């Protein structure tokens, strides 16, 4: 009886682990995560477009194109965007500040947060 119960418990754990939206590296591209972060990602794109305009860079970023990608570090309140400019591949990092996201420079502290993040939502990154 004990062995049957143990087998059933192990089988249940394996089945439940397989039901997660996250892969073994903690990455997801699920629709549920997309809906959860849609407004925040749109706000980050709007802010980055304003930043580019202030820098007098004649480019407007559009989400869900081959030229832009997004990583949401869910457990760190960070959103990183990737895009192409004439000068090459660019990245920007935004950190949650109250109800909005503010553009930050890459620091050791932010790099440590990125490195320690366990759950990430990916959009157009190529790591699927």
Q: Helix, strand, or coil here: 20?
A: coil
**44 assigned to some structural domain:** yes
Which of 43, 40, 24 is CA-nearest to residue 74? Answer: 40
Q: How many domains does the chain have?
A: 1
Task: Please report the pLDDT score of residue 78 as a whole number.
Answer: 96
**10 assigned to some structural domain:** no
Task: Please report the pLDDT score of residue 127 as a whole number.
Answer: 46
**61 assigned to some structural domain:** yes
**115 assigned to some structural domain:** yes
The residues, ordered by sequence, that sit 6+ positions from 103 with a Cβ below 8 Å of its Cβ are 47, 48, 51, 92, 93, 94
**80 assigned to some structural domain:** yes
- Per-10-residue mean pLDDT of the chain, 128 residues long, equals 60 52 69 89 96 90 86 93 78 94 95 91 74
**20 assigned to some structural domain:** no
Check which CATH number belongs to the domain holding 59 and give it: 3.10.450.560
Task: Please report the pLDDT score of residue 100 as a whole number.
Answer: 93
Q: Which domain holds residue 90?
A: 27-123
pTM confidence score: 0.76
Task: Please report the pLDDT score of residue 33 as a whole number.
Answer: 83
């Amino acid at each position: 009886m004990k062995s049957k119960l143990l087998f059933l418990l192990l089988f249940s754990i394996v089945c439940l682990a397989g039901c997660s939206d996250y892969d073994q590296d903690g990455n997801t591209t699920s629709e549920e995560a997309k809906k959860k972060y849609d407004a925040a990602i749109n706000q980050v794109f709007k802010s980055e477009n304003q930043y580019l305009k202030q820098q007098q860079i004649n480019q407007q970023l559009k989400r869900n194109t081959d030229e832009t990608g997004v990583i949401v570090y869910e457990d760190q309140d960070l959103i990183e965007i990737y895009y192409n400019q004439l000068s090459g591949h660019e990245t920007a990092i935004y950190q949650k500040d109250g109800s909005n996201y503010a553009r930050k420079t890459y620091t050791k502290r932010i790099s440590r947060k990125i490195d320690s993040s366990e759950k990430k939502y990916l959009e157009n990154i190529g790591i699927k």
